[in-house]
Chain A
Amino acid sequence: MSTQQAEPESQEAPKDPEMQGAESPAAEKQKGGGMVDQTSTDASELEGETVHIKVFRYDPEVEAKQEPRFDDFHVPFEKGMTVLDAVMYARDEYDSSLTFRHSCRQAVCGSDAFFVNGKQRLGCKTQIADLEQPVRIEPLPHQEVVKDLVVDMDHFYDQMHTVEPYFQQEDLPDGELEEQRQSRENREKVKMSTRCIWCGACMSSCNIAAGDNEYLGPAAINKAYRFAMDEREDEEIKEHRLRILEQEHGVWRCQTQFSCTEVCPKDIPLTEHIQELKREAVKKNLKFW
């Protein structure tokens, strides 16, 4: 087993990925969403130190990576360093084949949701100093792994699209510059739901979604909530939306385990939104499938 050290000389020449140590050769790809939060380390204790990260590796095409494994990297710590910073450093300095999605680095693009120390988190928003070492970084559970930390998001996108995720109000006010009025209270009501960045953390943490591929899932239901509760859409379309949601694999599948709410990086009260839609469906006397 070889581990990468952050000695200045080792930063010069990127090392062969095949030389990376494999600490846990039989890494399990589909782990459930256990919610073990970690105790934090004081950042000042880490000054001048390296942090030890264990990163999941898998590539269906490269022989040495076909068997999933973990690679160890020791990355020099800097104050404010995030999980994303650490894996970027490992990639740029030690192994350029290390693969993950990332873009904005500020928690709005939703690309870098990983399974970090047993919890779904955005890499860019998670401080390394808050985590217990070694930091285990894995792809989102319950999604097919494409390579390393990259998962296939197609199913997630399909579920988002199932709920007709677009505003549907054809009856607009007269005059090009006339707005639809929306009360501050109503905007406040839908505000949290509009913050979703489609990162997929909630879906990955949901035990129900893991067992029922057709379950709409927390993100899609939240997207529907965003429209169903918006007073600018009229009653008819609201009813249509509730009919989509109350179907067999809709809101009633939710068992209020709160795992989605717990992992949401934008603090959206997903479970509460799902419950509210259940109540709406009951009030509208929609059939209980």
Chain B
Amino acid sequence: MAGQSLSVPSKPRFQFKPRFRKLLPYLGISTLGLVILLLFLAPLGYMSLTAFKTIVQVRDTHSQGLPASPINFTYQGAEYPLLMVPTEDGVRELALVKPGREESDYVDPQNPEAGTFTVVGRWRTFDPVYAFDPTLDNFPTSWEQVNLGRLFRNTIFIATLGTIGTLLSSILVAYGFARFRVPGIGILFLILISTIILPRQVTLIPTYIFFRTIGWGGTWLPLIVPHFFANAYNVFLLRQYFRSIPRDLDEAATLDGATPWQVLWHVILPQSIPALIAVGLFHFFFAWNDFFEPLVYLQGREDLYTISIGMTQFNNIFNTQPGLAMAASMMAIALPLVMFFLAQRVFVQGIVVTGVEK
């Protein structure tokens, strides 16, 4: 794509043209990018708009994207919707009092004293008069109904402890793999990596039976404790990072009499902050999203549910009330998204810096 601009010979007669030619790919690619991005993020738009709709608005087949309600006109103590009704005198805004299939009774809001009159024509084919009418009720209601506050507390608790566990254990193990000449360590590392392709379903049933036997069924322990024993991805990641730290540094420290603990603490860790943050965040996001294990271990213990299964268990509520579902969804993604935007420098920007350098 860059080639296009280069292959075109510039014509001296039009000074602005080469510059414009140079701008063209920027314009083209950026527009393309914007269109793709908008399509990509459209579901978030759907989510946000629906979150502000009442159930009646959701079901309204005329409804545009925005949360809007038909304007009603009060006639003799009851409310009737305004429609754009084509009559002999052009299209008029009339209130539909008594709907019928082929003809309906209307009242003119300008002149209610005249009473109702009949207009022939199918009211369903007339456009209602809408007004922008968002509701905020879905947020407190869904918060209440599915007990989102408790789901949040539970999930944060599980995710935080698991993150601490996986950080502690993975640091130790990765350090072990990165720095110590233990016989057979190559094979051990190979085994570690190969556990990545071992489907956890293979270990699931015995593990489940085991936890149940020791009384951990219906508790959070199976969701937290295992993370204190390191896992392949995190160890792999940290090990690669630790290995990138020059050995001279820790050898110097060792010569000064530092124990491996001290080397890890004073030399390795301070230089590995980005990796640690990344591992921590990924675990946190993982725990936030995890579905399978809470489903298996927390069956029926509603008071212990995490967000993922908590929201699924109220499938019916969310099926019958899309507004609530989307409001709850917006709240459920808020924390991970905030964390992501705060931390995005760690990964996305880092790559950019390196890329520019080249």
Binding partners A and B: no
Residues of chain A at the chain B interface (Cβ within 8 Å): none
